């Protein structure tokens, strides 16, 4: 192995083991790698330049606005109304609250664009409710964790914006629309797991709502659900770009939370803005340092070398494709989603394209793989949040999570081998060439 790459791997792994934040670990290991072949001052200057260049993208302006809109939705009563809406639709079936959990997490994750926000907002309401109804505590936390990741595939999604940047400009609008069917497919398979659990464990059956309750909860949820149609409809119709849509999402979520639902006071905006700023800073620092690491990998010809090795591994494209997915699953286990996308997209995308996959199709495959990683130890951020909300341990969640991992992987395999699942909607709406 090349000495510089050896230094990169060893330094990055060591820094993570001793508890250094991921963004700092990436930046320091990148700088140490550059020092192998570049003097100190040029190495520091080059690292800083690459970090700054990684943030020089208009599309990244959408990230702070989508983060803020997610925070507004989490505290503005939107999560509770989505749960109540899902409950009157399917809460009366055996294990109905588990179905409600999946649908609520999917809807809220899609509206907020954050799996962590969905786990926290929906989990803090649904997990105690399911506990009171006699559902298994660890199963309740596990299904919340797994289903929260589906929202990362359904727009608006910050990680799809980051993939667009890493892939060299795949249409954000096309990525947004491409994620709908895979995201809903993953949610559907998780609901099948819930149905099997409900039958085996004999989960309780909820009360059948009256027509008045159905109408009331549906009416209350319409303004929240309308955000999806406003944002995506505006992008599809060309009324605004994905970046402009993020501002629309903030204005609409603020209007709902402050004026319609009145669950956020004007005085509550300051801490929300501060939190949005802190989260944005963390995400953008990850993007900056990951971009610098991606550059040094390219400088050392790692993407080209790995592409050659993978293509020489076998003449069977199916084996190569499955190998890529195994790599992505392992990456998701040990690395957070943002740096994983920025670092491994330039490495693996050329290989995928040589196998005949479009950058759009590969992007959805990559995000689905990394979504599974968010639910797995030792780095799964959503898993940690779910354990915190449910007041349980990671070890207790692994057993109920196993069939959910299987369901998510099965959905992933369908998307891998049926490209139309991710490409049909972008082609139908003619979004491939949109910004």
List the pLDDT tens digit at each of the 435 positions of the chain.
567 778 888 898 898 888 888 889 889 999 998 888 788 899 899 999 999 988 888 888 888 888 888 888 878 887 778 778 888 887 677 788 888 889 888 887 777 667 877 888 788 888 988 888 888 899 999 999 999 999 889 887 888 989 998 998 888 889 989 999 999 999 999 999 999 988 888 877 767 788 888 888 888 888 888 887 888 788 778 788 878 888 998 999 899 999 988 889 999 899 999 988 998 898 888 889 988 988 888 887 777 777 778 778 777 888 888 999 999 988 888 888 888 898 899 889 988 998 889 999 999 999 999 999 889 887 777 888 888 889 898 889 999 999 999 999 999 999 999 999 999 999 888 876 554
129: left (phi over 0), alpha (psi -120 to 50) or beta: alpha
The rounded Cα 128 to chain-centroid distance in angstroms is: 25
Burial class (CB in 10 A: 0-12, 13-18, 19+), 220: middle
CA angle 313, 318, 322 (to 5 degrees): 80
DSSP state of 257: I
d(CA 337, CA 373): 8
CA dihedral 76, 82, 85, 87 (to 10 degrees): -120
pLDDT of residue 237: 80
d(CA 74, CA 78): 7
Give the burial string for 232-245 (b: 16+ CB within 10 Å, else e): bebbbeeeebbbbb
Domain boundaries, the chain: 1-54, 59-284+301-429
User: In which residue are the tokens 């010809």 written?
Assistant: 301
CA angle 31, 32, 33 (to 5 degrees): 90
3-class secondary-structure state, position 205: strand
pLDDT of residue 432: 62
DSSP state of 210: P
d(CA 49, CA 423): 36
Q: Phi/psi of residue 94, each to 5°?
A: -60, 125
How far lies 125's CA from each of 82, 129, 323, in Å? 11, 6, 39
pLDDT of residue 385: 84
- Find all residues with CB under 8 Å of 131, minimum gap 6, and list them: 137, 140
Q: Phi/psi of residue 303, each to 5°?
A: -60, -45
3-class secondary-structure state, position 94: strand
Query: How many CA atoms are closer than 13 Å to the CA of 77, on its beta-carbon side?
Result: 17
104 within 8 A of 82, measured Cβ to Cβ:
yes
pLDDT of residue 282: 86
d(CA 330, CA 279): 26
d(CA 121, CA 80): 8
CA dihedral 383, 385, 387, 390 (to 10 degrees): -130
């Amino acid at each position: 192995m090349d000495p510089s790459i050896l230094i990169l791997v060893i330094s990055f792994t060591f820094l993570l083991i001793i508890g250094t934040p991921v963004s700092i670990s990436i930046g320091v290991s990148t700088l140490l790698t550059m020092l192998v072949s570049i003097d100190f001052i040029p190495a520091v200057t080059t690292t800083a330049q690459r970090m700054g260049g990684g943030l020089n993208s208009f599309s990244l302006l959408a990230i702070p606005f989508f983060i803020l809109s997610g925070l507004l939705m989490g505290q503005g009563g939107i999560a509770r109304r989505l749960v109540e809406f899902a409950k009157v639709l399917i809460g009366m079936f055996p294990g109905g609250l588990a179905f409600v959990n999946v649908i609520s997490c999917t809807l809220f994750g899609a509206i907020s664009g954050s799996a962590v926000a969905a786990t926290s907002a929906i989990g803090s309401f649904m997990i105690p409710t399911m506990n009171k109804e006699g559902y298994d505590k660890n199963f309740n936390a596990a299904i919340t964790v797994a289903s929260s990741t589906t929202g990362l595939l359904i727009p608006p999604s910050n990680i799809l914006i980051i993939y667009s940047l890493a892939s060299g400009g795949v249409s954000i609008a096309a990525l947004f629309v491409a994620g709908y069917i895979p995201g809903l497919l993953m949610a559907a398979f998780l609901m099948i797991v819930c149905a099997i659990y409900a039958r085996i464990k004999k989960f309780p059956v909820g009360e059948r709502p009256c027509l008045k309750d159905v109408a009331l909860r549906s009416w209350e949820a319409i303004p929240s659900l309308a955000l999806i149609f406003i944002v995506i409809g505006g992008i599809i119709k060309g009324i605004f770009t994905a970046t402009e849509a993020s501002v629309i999402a903030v204005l609409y979520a603020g209007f709902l939370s402050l004026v319609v639902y009145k669950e956020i006071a004007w005085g509550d905006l300051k801490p929300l803005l501060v939190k949005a700023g802190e989260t944005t800073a963390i995400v953008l620092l990850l993007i900056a340092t990951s971009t610098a690491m991606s550059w040094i990998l390219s400088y050392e010809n790692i993407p080209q070398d790995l592409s050659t090795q993978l293509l020489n591994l076998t003449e069977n494209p199916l084996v190569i494709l499955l190998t890529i997915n195994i790599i992505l699953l392992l990456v998701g286990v040990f690395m957070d989603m943002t740096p994983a996308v920025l670092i491994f997209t330039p490495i693996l995308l050329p290989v995928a394209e040589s196998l005949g996959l479009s950058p759009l199709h590969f992007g959805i495959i990559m995000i689905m793989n990394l979504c599974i990683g968010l639910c797995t130890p030792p780095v799964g951020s959503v898993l940690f949040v779910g354990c915190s909300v449910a007041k349980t341990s990671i070890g207790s969640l692994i057993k109920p999570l196993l069939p959910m991992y299987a369901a998510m992987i099965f959905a992933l395999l369908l998307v891998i081998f049926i490209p139309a699942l991710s490409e049909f909607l972008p082609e139908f709406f003619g979004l491939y060439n949109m910004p």
